[in-house]
Chain A
Amino acid sequence: MNIIVCIKQVPDPEIPPVKFQIDPEGKKVIPPDGVTPVISVFDERAVEAALKLKDKYKAKVTALTLGPDSAKAVIRHALAMGVDAGVHIQYEAAGELDSFGTAHVLMKAIEKIGDYSLVLCGRQAADWDAGQVGLLIAENLGIPVVTVAKKVDLQDDKLRVESVIQDGYHVMEVSMPALVTVSSEIGLSRLPTGIGIVKAARVKIENLSVEDIGADIPEARCTELIKLYVPVRDIQCQIIEADTVQESAEELAVRLREAKII
């Protein structure tokens, strides 16, 4: 069983909010100075889902990323977690692509890698939160897709996927090849072990250009970013004063109900 996991490098979401800056005119996020970008957290969960299958069924897992030179660091991270191989589609202007453009390039890369049973993606990227790329890759490849998975397993020659819905989950049976987007409900991803980190440094990452995989970068985006801004949050603090903790809690509940929060 061969699994391809699509992963993306994003700005570290753990940075202090004061370090997050945007360029409203250029409609871009300004990379925070001195902060190394990281693998998108949902993609890291997708790697974990792939590794769970590898642990159980001895699957071969390949991590795939699209991005500038720096993006191969996320492949190295996935290798340290335990994936077997890494492919980096190096494209310095990857940040300019919308979900359609990104999905096209990744689809071409997946076709180039070939011989896959399962493609895994994070449910959405932790920077733009669009949640489109996985669906569009599946559409481009012409394979079935299941979204927001909390568990992925094999049952006979099919996939058995538990897909999160608002008040529970669906159990889906899917023929392969298929694409599954993975959610954080799958559980914490494993931390890279020391041995994994050291071994990952020795693995040669396959570096390909968009020309190598025959991708046509679309001249125009299918989606247009109208405005980029940081929402202003007006926080007002109310101190509830009461004689006992119970009275404070009751008063808090009353006010939350008045505010239609509970």
Chain B
Amino acid sequence: MDLNFTETQDIVRTTAREFMARYYPKSLVRELEEEPIGFREDIWKEAANLGWLGWVIPEEYGGVGGDFLELIVLLEEMGKACFMLPFFSTVICSLPILAAGTKEQKEELLPKIAQGEMIFSLAFTEPSATYEAAGIETKAVADGNDYVINGTKLFIHDAQVAHSFLCAARTETDKANPENGITLFVVDAKSPGIKITPLEAIADDKQTEVIFKDVKVSKDAMIGEINQGFPIIKRLLEQAAVAKCAEMMGGADWMVENCVAYAIERVQYGKPIGSYGIIQSYLSEMWAEVGIAKRLMYYAAWLVAQGGPCAKEVAMAKSLASEVYRSQTRMGVQIFGGIGTTREHDMGLYYRRARQAALLFGDPISMRERVAQEIGL
């Protein structure tokens, strides 16, 4: 059993770290948080030129042909830098196209994604705020060669800059099994009938409400088979949950590293605060818990990369990462003391993101319920 990173993963990490140091200072994070659009074309193009948007897209479709674990390393560094551009949304949406799209759809969409020309937003969650199939009430009704979509999507990331939505809609009602009758569509974000309203969220991470009113899409825009979208979505949600874990653990890494450095440098009552028992206790607990959560995340990511069943492990990883990131950022504020509560200090960026990310792609309670189901309870 070799638990070391590969040389390739190490290069991905150092490259991403250098990229963030060159192009993505914390001052920019704050600027983007304040802006309604929160996007920088030049940085997006740089990321695209490095192949990041097409990391898991095969070379035949203009991508890098890398693997999911390398993407996880990249996402860790993005979490560490509080990266806000619509990378996560776009890459996550490319996965079901890759897995279930037709050859024509792949040839049309994937090269544009890889080159940074097409930004995607995942239009899945609705006012019920659940990731279960029963939460999908948006309807798509056949109309000749088209489908007409009506419904409201809520907490949708990056809709304000998206060229397209990957939208989950109900094409058939099966009350006995809500997972039946869901279909995935690629929807042009400029389609008539789409209304996007920004939401104010704790992490200022560009969430929106997206209303679809009589929005027409061609049958050719369907990803996968009619009524058979939920298995694709399930896989997507597993991939997204692990990817979100990676972002969270990158943020947790920043916190632990900076808290340790501060505890050594900050002198109070004539001694570094790291020499006091309570701070040592905080930091050793943070070090251990973040280490455990990261390793569970890597295991879940490895299972996802293998393509086999991983629902239980993904749920365990997401639940633990969410709880650890939330509790450890609270302890981080304790260690930094007063300065850690100010807007000027970076700690708040991570504190707010920890609370937001815990709810995305499965909050800890729903993830623990999933684990319970998976172990037969």
Contact = CB atoms under 8 A, between A and B. Distances in A.
Interface of A: 14, 16, 18, 36, 38, 72-73, 76-77, 80, 188, 191-195, 197-198, 200-201
B11 A200 contact: yes
A123 B31 CA distance: 38
Contacts of A200: 8, 11
Nearest to A16: B261
Interface string B294-305: 000000000000
Contacts of A197: 8, 11-12, 15, 64, 66, 70
B272 to A, nearest CB: 10
B8 A192 contact: no
B8 A191 contact: no
Contacts of B70: 197
The DSSP consensus for interface residues of chain B is helix
Interface in B1-21: 5-8, 10-15, 17-19, 21
B66 A18 contact: no
Chain B interface size band reads 20 to 34
A80 B11 contact: yes
A198 B7 CA distance: 10
Given A76-B7, A197-B11, A18 B64 contact: no
Contacts of B19: 191
Interface of B: 5-8, 10-15, 17-19, 21-22, 49-52, 54-55, 59, 63-66, 70, 257, 260-261, 264-265
B51 A194 contact: yes
A18 B70 CA distance: 29
A-B pairs with lowest CB-CB distance, top 9: A194-B51, A194-B64, A16-B261, A18-B264, A76-B7, A201-B8, A80-B11, A193-B50, A192-B15
A36 B6 CA distance: 11
Nearest to B13: A36
Nearest to B114: A194
A194 B11 CA distance: 10
Contacts of A38: 14
B50 A191 contact: yes
19 contacts: A14-B21, A18-B261, A18-B265, A36-B14, A80-B15, A191-B15, A191-B19, A192-B11, A192-B50, A194-B52, A194-B54, A195-B51, A195-B59, A197-B8, A197-B66, A198-B64, A198-B66, A201-B6, A201-B8
Nearest to B21: A14
B260 A73 contact: no
B291 to A, nearest CB: 10
A73 B261 contact: no
Contacts of A198: 8, 64-66
B96 to A, nearest CB: 21
Nearest to A202: B8
Given A191-B19, A198-B65, A77 B261 contact: no
Contacts of A76: 7-8, 11
Given A195-B59, A198-B65, 14 more contacts: A18-B260, A80-B11, A188-B22, A191-B15, A193-B64, A194-B54, A194-B55, A194-B63, A194-B66, A195-B64, A197-B8, A200-B8, A201-B6, A201-B8
Contacts of A16: 257, 260-261
Nearest to B51: A194
B52 A77 contact: no
A42 to B, nearest CB: 15
A200 B51 CA distance: 14
